[in-house]
Structure 1
């Protein structure tokens, strides 16, 4: 079953259900170029779920100009960390969260993995709710049926896997540019829009500014735990800077462009906040239905990434305890179907009080995913500097052991550092009320990263210096 990748006479991979999942991708099966990373991350970001993030500053009463500044700051910063994770894929050839075993231990990695799986199941559920009305506008059906249809499409594409996901992303890059560029042109040539923008009375708010920066940064930081899953098939000869920049530019340009459009639309009409898909399609008149189809498919790309990566994370959990290096197709089907069923149930159950639910997801992923991201990046770039034993990541008796309790304690400290800054629908911390926004992404990046480097990095640096001194002493003079 785990044969080499089949290619056609032109050397392109043949579309088939992906055979590999959590295992190392052999060098003979590596293919593609870093350019694919631009289209997959551009399309994943240029869609209406990200567009909603762009509306937050306007809804909070801030001017369009200051909202745009905050969006730029948040996206520029957050995407750096996302792209840094992506650069690990070609070098290691394994899924992102498998690599976490080097920091947390083969069994200990289950802690962030459970949290990552839950986070992406919630995102799959959220997308189903966001697209419900748009799907019903394309073809009349009940609310629940619309959510189920969207989830089923997500399940099928996720099951086929890596190659289809990349091709889907490339196609949607073109289609999304056409629809959102057309939307921008309609706004530019609309007299009503010009009048509204000129007469809008909004000012600056420290709280609203911090809110937009945090949510924009959170959006791109959230891709960290799975971004390398979509670069792991690239040849290891690919330069790290190419992987980084194609990912960075794709993610940044896609998210920033659509968030800016969201801010403009929210200034003109509040309808885009509650139902962005149909609000945009309404601008196209007789072409509303084709525009809606593209909008729904755009969110489908992001939904597929979330479900596929929830699957990768969940099987990484139990495979670590069972010393598994491969996952059968039947197991893949069963796990994916279970995740699809759970996310669909959550979407149906929460669909009528979705606004708070979506805001809480964006905030919660900062608390639980960003500390992991900080630890992972410090370990990869500063402590081990890319030197890992892939074989030992699948063996609890290897050098990474079962549990790394120091790393787990650092992760918990990273989470604890967010408590004084949390801002949720049911809990508002002291500093969140004082500042007027949740800025916990800052301590959740800094605290675990610094603690991890102090705990492991200085010792590793000392060991490297000792080796260098011993090596020099052995040289003839």
Structure 2
């Protein structure tokens, strides 16, 4: 891929432009997860009632389970050379994919906003401009980086991974100077609903990457091992998020009520004042910049995917790209400024809402890719509403609706609690239902309906055909 500014949008990346190794997924997702919002996510488990010992174990369980699902999506990138949500057209139809896409776009704006609140605090302190100008400045820098595209995203991941890892080692040591680890983990009373809350918080964090994770593996050579892509993605994402969340859970246990509402200042205060504090504010802003660029880039891809399904558009020029990214920036910044005063409670409910929305989509997409189509897609037909996938695929849309509805009796949030939550002791298991029910139902409905599945992957123009290679390695086999 020549030049710094990316030329591709939702079109297939030709084999001649592929580069890199699967290890790039480790560095990207490590850097994307070593950041302040992941710290707050880990802290939430303690803030809402879990003790630190079971919070850490619950977070680990959620990161591994959710991370495995997310990494299965990542392995699709090298095979298809497409952004993640384009492949949803094979299940939902070229236009029907707009249904999950609409929720994906809400997710990107929400994560952009939540990240901007925390990064804005850091940028405001670092520049002495205050929180609101800090949020706006951070949003503008994010939009510029996202407009440059794929290369700068991976470069940010590499830099943030190293810088933030060093900072978290230092902050961890400082935290343990204030509080004994044995004291923080002394309370080991098991509370099942609180344990499941920790699992759900971490799982939702990982599953929310699913709709865009293949965006960042699609430039890898088509011959890249599916297992390598899977394990490097899972390793980077699970390690980075668990590291951050464990720190957050321990910090919340040590700080108590002093943590809530003062997350950034508390973390920076662990390091000291003066130049050290300035450096830590920079680290927080850098970590958030990495993930917010991913959110903006993914939001741009999703908006183009949704609109192009109705316009038969396969590519986008620089001006159009800038307009989409600017729209996401404006919307995300507005939400950040409106919601910054009630951030912590709103963010917890937002995460659990995302889990409800994306587990059915994830289940349908993975079952179709690995078990029904078995990695065989007609890529040109993904842009043709009159092609083999059609405009709307009723079976997948119906299964998606059933998957959403099936979760509500088990859902526990601030604004809604399902009728089956209390009999389960207050535990929220909606995300498990949201994975299992649509996965089983879609497989039952789709396994006998494979007329639209090509005998092999159809790439389009012969110039993009892959060179001869050994038989493909399939994660689904």
> By how many angstroms is 1:311 displaced?
0.8
Q: Please list every run of 5 or more consecutive structure 1 residues that lacks an aligned counterpart in the other structure.
A: 7-13, 465-477
Name the structure 2 match of 1:325: 314
Q: Please list every run of 5 or more consecutive structure 2 residues that lacks an aligned counterpart in the other structure.
A: 455-477
Aligned partner of 1:254 among 237, 240, 253: 240
Contact 1:52 / 1:273 at 8 angstroms: preserved in 2?
Answer: no
Contact 1:62 / 1:203 at 8 angstroms: preserved in 2?
Answer: no
Distance 1:429 1:416 in 2: 11
Tell me how many residue pairs correspond in the alignment.
450
Q: Does 1:83 align with 2:68?
A: no
Deviates more, 1:351-360 or 1:320-329: 351-360
Please state whether the residue corresponding to 2:85 is helix, strand or coil: coil
TM-score, with normalisation over the residues of structure 2? 0.91
Please state whether the residue corresponding to 1:403 is helix, strand or coil: coil
Aligned partner of 2:271 among 275, 284, 304: 284
Q: Alpha-carbon deviations, 1:357-383, whole Å to 9, x = none?
A: 211210111111111000000000111
Name the structure 2 match of 1:453: 443
Match runs of 1:36-435 below 5 Å: 36-188=24-176, 190=177, 192-194=178-180, 197=183, 203-270=189-256, 271-285=258-272, 286=274, 287-434=276-423, 435=425
> By how many angstroms is 1:356 displaced?
2.4
Distance 1:120 1:338 in 2: 12
> By how many angstroms is 1:318 displaced?
0.9
> By how many angstroms is 1:355 displaced?
2.2
Please state whether the residue corresponding to 1:61 is helix, strand or coil: coil
Aligned partner of 1:436 among 426, 429, 435: 426
In structure 2, the CA distance between the partners of 1:206 and 1:199, relative to structure 1 (3 Å rule), is closer
Q: Alpha-carbon deviations, 1:176-228, whole Å to 9, x = none?
A: 1100011112233x1x4118826965632111111101111111011000000
Q: Alpha-carbon deviations, 1:205-263, whole Å to 9, x = none?
A: 11111110111111101100000000000100101011111101001100111111111
Name the structure 1 match of 2:459: none
Please state whether the residue corresponding to 1:166 is helix, strand or coil: helix
Distance 1:194 1:316 in 2: 51
Contact 1:196 / 1:267 at 8 angstroms: preserved in 2?
Answer: no
Name the structure 2 match of 1:474: none
Contact 2:124 / 2:132 at 8 angstroms: preserved in 1?
Answer: no
Q: Alpha-carbon deviations, 1:21-51, whole Å to 9, x = none?
A: 1000011011111111001101111111011
